[in-house]
Each structure stands twice: as structure tokens, then as C-alpha cells.
Amino acid sequence: MAAPTVACVEWTEPLMTAGHWMPDLVAHAGGRAVLAVAGQPSPVITWETLVKADPDVITVAACGRSIEEGVSDLGDLRARAEWGWLQAVQRGRVYVFDGSAYFNRPGPRLVRSAELLAAALHGDRAGVAVEPGAFLRVEA
């Protein structure tokens, strides 16, 4: 089975995907990061670029934002017609994480971040215990 493609949204306006260590975390979780390069800054991307990549999974872990704020930030994404064109959205493969707690700062907690990503990408097959509220699967 091929690794799912994953777009990690770090900010919604302007639209940015997560670079730095996030592509490596996605790889450790069994996915293939698209639209960002490990070790490089987080790029601003266009909606056209996101639609063209059409990732299998989209994660939203906004920089410095809680999970509740991340859910609120989804409004920026849902306001765009292109959002509904994405297969991740159509298939219910959009996950919101607490960016501040798990992804935005390097350190030992990134091990848990990779585990949570694996749980989102692979469900029970990942063999990861997930505490309630660690991430949310959201509908279109």
C-alpha cells in the first residue's frame, strides 16, 4: 500500500504548509508530505497548487493555535470553493491538531506528534493509543 500524500496546513490566510521538521514527521508516521520540504521554511502556497497536489489527507495544525482555534480557522478554508474539490475533504480525511502543543516547536514532544499523525493517517492499524481531544477528524 502506497503512503498517503499529506498536506500539513500551518496557516490559513495566507495559505501556508508546514516545512522545517513536519515533512520528516509525516514520513515517520507513514505518509508522504507534499507542498513543503524538510529543513526548509514553511512556504506560502496558492489554492491552485493545493488543488493540483490534491492530497489524500490534510492536517491543520496552525502555528501557535489550540485545537479549538484550529477548528475556527477552518472557516477560512471552507469559505473557498476549491476546498470542496479536494479528495481529502470529500473523503473525510481532514484532521485538526493542537499546533501549539504538538507541532510548532521542536523538542521531545515531537515523538508523540509523529504517533498522533500515524493514528490519523492509519487509524487502528497504527497501534497508537490516542487520548481524547488529541486531534479531531472534521467533515467538509
Question: Over its length of 140 residues, how does the chain's per-residue pLDDT go in tens digits?
Answer: 789 999 999 999 999 999 999 999 999 999 999 999 999 999 999 999 999 999 999 999 998 889 999 999 999 999 999 999 999 999 999 999 999 899 988 888 899 999 999 999 999 899 998 988 889 999 87
Domain that holds residue 134: 5-138
Farthest CA pair distance, the chain: 38
Domain count, the chain: 1
Matching residue, cell 492536517:
59
Question: Which pTM does this prediction carry?
Answer: 0.95
> What DSSP string runs through the chain?
-PPPEEEEEEEETTEEE--BTHHHHHHHTT-EE-S--BTSPPPB--HHHHHHH--SEEEE--TT--HHHHHHHHHHHHTSGGGGGSHHHHTT-EEEE-HHHHTSS-STTHHHHHHHHHHHHHGGGG-----TTSEEEE--
CATH of the domain at 94: 3.40.50.1980
What is the Cα–Cα distance from 128 to 135, expressed in whole angstroms? 13
